[in-house]
Amino acid sequence: MNCQHGLLLFDKPAGLTSNAALQRVKRLLGIKKAGHTGSLDPVATGLLVLLFGEATKVSDYILNADKSYRATLRLGQTTTTGDSEGEILEERPVAVSEEQVRMILPRFSGVIAQVPPMYSAIKQGGKPLYELARKGLEVERAARQVRIDALDLILLDGDCLVLDVRCSKGTYIRSLAADIGAALGCGAHVNGLRRTSTGPFDITQALTLEALADVLGREECPLKAMDLALEYLPAVTLTENTAYYLRQGQGVVVAHTPASLGRIRLYGPMGQFLGLGEVMDDGKVAPRRLMSVN
Q: How far is the C-alpha of 67 from the C-alpha of 153, rounded, in Å?
A: 17
Strands 45-52 and 6-12, by their bridges, are: antiparallel
Among the listed residues 11, 41, 83, 227, the single catalytic one is 41
Active site residue 227: no
Cβ contact 236:269 at 8 Å: no
**C-alpha R_g of the chain:** 22
CB-based burial label for 135 (10 Å; 0-12, 13-18, 19+): exposed
Residue 44 class from Cβ within 10 Å (0-12 exposed, 13-18 middle, 19+ buried)? buried
Distances (CA, A) of 220 to 18, 98, 142, 158: 24, 47, 48, 46
| Calpha distance 164→42 (Å, rounded) | 20
- Return the active site residues: 41
